[in-house]
Structure formats: C-alpha cells, structure tokens
Structure 1
Amino acid sequence: MQKFNLAVVIMVLSTIAITLKAEARSLWTDQPRILSTVTAQVPDSTKKDDAVMYLKRGFDRLKEKKYQEAIADFNQVIKLEPDNIYAYLGKGLGNFSLENYQAAKENFDQALEISPNFAHGYYFRGFTRLMLSDNRGAIADLQKASTLFTQAGELELAQKADSAIEKIQKS
C-alpha cells in the first residue's frame, strides 16, 4: 500500500461548517478546525490520480456547501477505490449536512468497517448518533475516538471528544 498525505483535503475539511440541530449544534460549534493533518494508506490503483482529484473536489464542494455534488464525487472515489475511508468520511459529512443522518451513520459505519481504528470515523459517527437520539451510542463513539486520538498523540482532538461527552451527559 502506498502512503500519501491528505493534508490539503483535511485542510479543506477542517473549514467545513456543518449546521447542526438540537444539542448537537452547541457541541459541534465548539469544535474549531477539528481535523489538521491525516496521513492515509490507500490501495494502489491505476486510477489513483482520478481518485485523488475526486476526493479533493468532494471536500472542496463540502466547503462550498454543495453537498449533493460532493457526495457524487465521493461516490466516484468509492468506485475507483472501494476501501478509501476518506471517501466514506466525506460522504458521511455530506449526508450529515443534508440532515440525512441515517445515511451519514451508514457511511461512517462503512469507513469503520474498513478501518476499525479510524478515530475521525468514530468522532463524526458520535455526533450523527446524537442527532439520531442515540445518546448512549454517541458517548461510546466519542469515548472510542478520544482513546484513539490519545494513542495517536492528538491530545487536542481527544479533549474535544471528552468535552462533547461531558456536554451530552449533562443534557
């Protein structure tokens, strides 16, 4: 497997303003630039350049709040690289932004099936579960995200997950 840096994509992702409802809105708005730098391992592909282009464009479209177009781009990545966790993450964020919470959860589930230690997948699925009124599942996902972020040395992200857990427990 080849490694490549998705810093550009993650920088775009970090500026996405996801509009939330209910208690998730107050939790999420406390999250400044959740993602900074992530390195991914992606299977070799004869269409790797196309997949990277669709992935970047998908995150750009999320930033522009063109959620349907973003989801279409992430679907193209999935056709080219079915195990690309970032395509499922982006697709989940698009569905979340469209308030298609069940679809978003399924997208995050797919990312986590491929990569069970994908902290960002747990983090975002936690907020999605909160929107689906599954507070227990939200807390479990955020706790897992916090543990994985801590293990990776991403202590700021671990703290954000812990703070979200505290707010959910108090609500």
Structure 2
Amino acid sequence: ELEAAIEDYNEAIKLDPEDSAAYFNRGNARKELGELEAAIEDYNEAIKLDPEDSAAYFNRGSIKRELGELEAAIEDLNEAIKLDPEHSRAYVNRGSLKQELGELEAAIEDYNEAINLSTEHFAAYFNRGSHPF
C-alpha cells in the first residue's frame, strides 16, 4: 500500500519537516511507484537534512542510473562509498556503471572490492566474469 504509506509520510513531514527519515522513506515509496523525479526530490531533501546518509546517496544514484544520468549516478555512489566504505552494493553498482562507460579496469576494481567486502554478491562475480578482455 505505497500510496497510503506516502500519505502517512506526508503527515509525518507536516509534523516534523526536519525528519530526514520521512523524506527518505517517502522517496523509497515513490521509487517503487515509478515516480522517479519525485523520489529524487525526496532523497535530495533527506541528504540536505542528513548529509551523512549514505543510503540516500545510494538510492538517488540508482534512480539517476535508471534515468540515464550515468556520471551523476557515479558521483552519488562515490559519496555513498565515502560515507560507508563497506557498502558492497555501492561498489557493485558503481562497477556496473563504469562498465557501461567502458572503464573496464576501474569496473573490475569495484567488483573486486565488493567481493572482498562480501563474497555473497552474485552480480559482482557475474559482471567481473563477463568483462570483454
């Protein structure tokens, strides 16, 4: 019930407009509904209120990728990794973006780091193995 969740987050934001989590969670719900631009606005606000929120950068980067904004997505993933250097999924996603941009060696480095952090990342192994050498 994503629309009902959004209504609840709207009310929470009215009551406490400084609560970054409400914006973050509303952004997640909007993303699930395909409201990508609105989700980005919510992540922007969450980041403004809590600049240390690596998850907000990660999620915003994921949406930017969906919108074809690859360089901007990498910037967000860079920030997510800077804030949480053990965020293995951020390395996988950044590696995938770098692979799309033809930066193959840099992509492999990201996949390697993701695997070093967690050996459970199918995508890191798969993407690293599918590199055209």
Please confirm whether the aligned pair reaches a TM-score higher than 0.5, indicating the same fold: yes
Aligned to 1:78: 47
1:119 correspondence with 2:88: yes
Counting only pairs closer than 5 Å after superposition, residues 5-154 of structure 1 correspond to structure 2 as 50-150=19-119
Deviating beyond 3 angstroms after TM superposition, the runs of 4 or more aligned structure 1 residues are: none
Task: Give RMSD over aligned pairs.
Answer: 1.9
The answer (yes or no) to whether the contact 2:18–2:49 under 8 Å persists in 1 is no
The answer (yes or no) to whether the contact 2:58–2:76 under 8 Å persists in 1 is yes
Higher helix share: 2
Pairwise CA distance, 1:48: 9.7
For 2:35, give the aligned amino acid: K
Number of equivalences: 118
- So what's the TM-score if we normalise by structure 1? 0.64
Pairwise CA distance, 1:119: 0.7
In 2, distance between residues paired with 1:48 and 1:139?
Answer: 41
In 2, distance between residues paired with 1:120 and 1:65?
Answer: 21
Query: Which structure would you say has the larger RCO, counting Cα contacts within 8 Å and 6 or more residues apart?
Result: 1
Pairwise CA distance, 1:50: 2.4
Aligned to 2:131: 168
Structure 1, unmatched stretches of 5+, are: 1-46
Larger radius of gyration: 2
- Offset from partner CA, 1:28-69 (integer Å, 9 cap, x none): xxxxxxxxxxxxxxxxxxx79822221112122222222211
Higher strand share: 1
The 1:48–1:145 alpha-carbon spacing in structure 2 relative to 1, beyond 3 Å, is farther
Structure 2, unmatched stretches of 5+, are: 1-15
